Amino acid sequence: MGRWTEDRVVGAAPDQGSLAAARKLAHPGPWSDTGSNDDLVWGKCQGSGKSPYQVSIDVAAPAYRCSCPSRKFPCKHALALLLLWSRGDAAEAATTADFAHDWAAQRASRSAAREPGQSAEAPDPAAQAKRLADRLALMDAGMADFARWLTDLVRAGLAAARTQPYSWWDGTAARLVDAQLPGLAEQVRTMGSDVHARADWAEHLLLRAGRWWALTKAWARRDELGEAELADLRATLGWATPSADVRDAESLPGPWLVLGAHRSDDGRLQQQRTWLRGPDGGLVVVLDFAGQGQSLAVPQLAGALLDVTVARYPGTAPRRAMFTSPVVARGLETGLGEGGSIAGSLEAESAAVARSPWRDRHPVLLTAVRVCSGGQGWLRDASGDALPLLGGSLTALLALTGGWPVDVFGELEEGSVRPLSIVVDGAVLAP
């Protein structure tokens, strides 16, 4: 089920009073434990009482449930949650909150009791086809509007774009969210800050604008793409693959070696990336997300061997993955395997970009590189090639390595490397 537009949320309001009250609550402050999946949106809203109100919404029906005493459907809390969700603030979650799951299960049971000859889980093919057609039409219109916006941006010049207020970028992002393009919207919203915060803002904006233009062209020709290419394109635009579909795919047994992990926080959403290598040498990345007031999954220790089965999302390698069985740590390895040179890693990155130009970062394992000071720091290999460091880890790396050559696993991002783990004296360490 695609995200609702704000206009659709407004249309669901029982009256203007409820809508006005909902707009006052439609910010992350009073909310916790928010999340969404294909059919449900849920969250807890702190009111005047001790316990927060539990809000659950079936966006496919639609149907609403809130533990507040209001007799309006939807109430102001449900409307506020829908407004947050329409803006991309209720992130997709791998598991459903207990109160939302129980409510959905009760509704399914009542439906099955009323219609004993039919399955409560049976989808309506005609309704599914109509929802898909409606979403594609909305996305087509959004991409066409975005292409016009990009044309205007280039005509006015990058310097003029830097003078625009943040509301100019945020307004474009809001239209993209309304067009069911939340992934692209987040990139535009972030650029509104980057053009003022980064010293290399002009090069960064030029690179992004070129990639955005390529996205508009790729979407227009999506019928010509292969399955993996289309999956990468959809993921970049923010079209989530249901976790249930991934679980039903082929699962790969372990052991899986944890190469490294990284956490980021943009103020609205936390992300944790965990890179793994399987028994066949293939790499995958497990992504975990958490909104405000939520906790990320416990990070896995770099160098650990995990007995766990993994299912992969569609796309090109290295693919996103998810754990489909309990994680059991078998032990710790003394290394991360065979790496390569900086030149070889850059060639591998170039080949990966040719397969999927939408990705921001690429995994890299470097053998026998030295940490060098100067500026933000560098990694230099035996041939003299070097990469600048990313992430402010120079001091920790110098202290851990003492200037000796070490193996480093990290992420290549816009010509720099973010070290996630190093091998020192037979131990895998996170700097």
* pLDDT per position as a tens digit, 177-200: 888 888 899 899 999 999 999 999
Domain co-membership, 129 together with 221? yes
Domain boundary among 292, 313, 332: 332
Domain co-membership, 130 together with 211? yes
Do residues 207 and 332 touch, judged by C-beta distance below 8 A?
A: no
**Domain of 372: which CATH number?**
2.40.50
**Model pLDDT, residue 349:** 92
Q: Which of the residues in the chain have pLDDT under 70?
A: 1-2, 94, 111-124, 267-268, 291-294
The verdict on residue 421 lying in a domain is yes
Tell which residue, 25, 74, 70, has the closest CA to residue 45. Answer: 25
Domain co-membership, 107 together with 82? yes
Domain boundary among 92, 114, 136: 114
Domain co-membership, 251 together with 215? no
Domain boundary among 302, 332, 362: 332
d(CA 356, CA 286): 18
**Model pLDDT, residue 406:** 95
**Model pLDDT, residue 112:** 63
The CB density around residue 148, as the number of other CB atoms within 10 Å, is: 10
The verdict on residue 337 lying in a domain is no
The verdict on residue 119 lying in a domain is no
CA angle in degrees (0–180, nearest 5) for 38-266-327: 60
User: Is residue 427 helix, strand or coil?
Assistant: strand
Domain co-membership, 142 together with 214? yes
**What is the count of structural domains for the chain?**
4
Tens of pLDDT, residues 337-394: 989 999 999 999 999 998 889 988 999 999 999 999 888 899 999 999 999 998 777 8
Tell which residue, 375, 428, 422, 421, has the closest CA to residue 403. Answer: 422
**Model pLDDT, residue 285:** 94
The verdict on residue 1 lying in a domain is no
Tell which residue, 216, 237, 236, has the closest CA to residue 154. Answer: 216
Burial of 429: CB neighbours in 10 Å, binned 0-12, 13-18, 19+: middle
Domain co-membership, 88 together with 164? no
d(CA 408, CA 336): 9
User: Is residue 180 helix, strand or coil?
Assistant: coil
d(CA 181, CA 91): 14
Close Cβ partners of 147 (under 8 Å, ≥ 6 residues apart): 213, 216
Domain co-membership, 295 together with 347? no
**Residue-range definition of the domain harbouring residue 147:** 125-237
Domain co-membership, 169 together with 85? no
**Model pLDDT, residue 120:** 47
Domain co-membership, 23 together with 49? yes
d(CA 217, CA 190): 22
- Whole-model pTM: value is 0.74
The verdict on residue 130 lying in a domain is yes
Structure-token pair, residue 406: 């070490």
The verdict on residue 325 lying in a domain is yes
The verdict on residue 397 lying in a domain is yes
The verdict on residue 120 lying in a domain is no
Domain co-membership, 319 together with 258? yes
Domain co-membership, 59 together with 143? no
Domain co-membership, 132 together with 233? yes
